[in-house]
Structure 1
Amino acid sequence: MEIVVNISDMKVTNRARDVLVTHALGSCLGLAAYDPVAGVAGLIHCLLPLSRDGKVPAKNPFMYVNTGIPQMIRTMYGRGATREHLVLKAAGCGRMMHISNQFDTGASNIAALKKLLQVNEMRLSAEDVGGTIPRTMRLFADTGRILISSCGRSWEL
């Protein structure tokens, strides 16, 4: 069953038949997390890097890298995932329409993720970030396999 993760959204599942998918990763960050031992998978689509003062916004913490990702990981822990077994993979964070200025949201999103991971002594297993293409990211909950697609092509991450 395909479950869509919208922009500024997050989904977690422990049903092996589920496929979590997010579309239109341009400058946004898509982060997939998978615990192969617990069989728990999570996918988040963050629009912006940082909420103000690092506070969790009342309306939607998933909009931001620094508030949404910790909440997704906590939700996964609640379903039996453990830090030791988490596999993290990132996609997106591109520069759409070749715009280059101080508001490079894609670069800011990946920088915020890497800082968050460093502080928590975690690391990415794989990434497909940057560039100028939009991406669709699929996380297969049975295996943790990630399939990226864009412009009529697909590849594994």
Structure 2
Amino acid sequence: MDEKLTVGIADMKMVKGEGTLITYALGSCIGICLYDPAVRLAAMVHIMLPLNMEAGRKTPMKYADTGIRETLRQMEAQGALRGRITAKIAGGAKMFEVGGNGLLGAIGQRNIESVHMVLKKEGIRLLREEVGGTVARTLLFDAANGQGRIRSYGKPEVIL
């Protein structure tokens, strides 16, 4: 039976060989799926914000920069090799109209840009993305084959 692990907000889970990682309610947040096909190691991190601006924060998975780096470190500790790891991402929607030039309304776009920057800096190839828009997403990621699926209310399922 396929094990399903739920990844919460500001959380990361990893599974090797068999199993599905799932996260819900990706609005402006981004779900990042990292995968090493040689060892069939899958990880998913659900980030909320683009950058960790304070040293010593206790929730590195909340931020794109520290969340991705910590996930890569833990994957390498489980036998993944940086050169084989690929990424797929979903989320970064604009969920609310915010008046003025406030940064709150643009948090989804800022998350997308930060994730792109960190993946590039860490040498991780981004294979696919389903980002932006105005709808929340549920993201599933299969460790057996590295396939992602996205479900959104009133829309057909998207293969990632």
Please say whether Structure 1 and Structure 2 have the same fold, judged by a TM-score greater than 0.5: yes
Q: TM-score, normalised by structure 2?
A: 0.90
Contact 1:98-1:132 at 8 Å conserved across structures: no
1:56 deviates by 4.8
Alignment length, in residue pairs?
154
Q: Which moved more, 1:75-84 or 1:118-127?
A: 118-127
Question: Once the two structures are superposed, what CA deviation does each residue of 1:16-70 show, in whole Å capped at 9, x if it has no partner?
Answer: 1x100000000001100111101100000001111115x351x211011111110
Q: TM-score, normalised by structure 1?
A: 0.92
CA–CA distance in 2 between the matches of 1:56 and 1:93?
A: 26
Q: Which moved more, 1:79-88 or 1:115-124?
A: 115-124
More helix by share: 1
Q: What SS does structure 2 have at the residue aligned with 1:6?
A: coil
Q: Structure 1 unaligned segments of length 5 or more: list them.
A: none
1:118 deviates by 2.4
AA of the residue aligned to 1:35:
D
Question: Which residues of 2 match residues 1-157 of structure 1 at below 5 A?
Answer: 1-16=3-18, 18-53=19-54, 55-57=55-57, 59-99=58-98, 101-103=102-104, 104-152=106-154, 153-157=156-160
1:120 deviates by 2.4
1:99 deviates by 3.8
1:5 deviates by 0.1
Q: Runs of 4 or more off by more than 6 Å in structure 1?
A: none
Question: Once the two structures are superposed, what CA deviation does each residue of 1:94-133 show, in whole Å capped at 9, x if it has no partner?
Answer: 1003446422110111111111122223331100000001
CA–CA distance in 1 between the matches of 2:17 and 2:144?
A: 8
1:76 deviates by 0.7
AA of the residue aligned to 2:20:
V
Q: What SS does structure 2 have at the residue aligned with 1:115?
A: helix
Percent identity over the alignment is 36
Contact 1:39-1:141 at 8 Å conserved across structures: yes
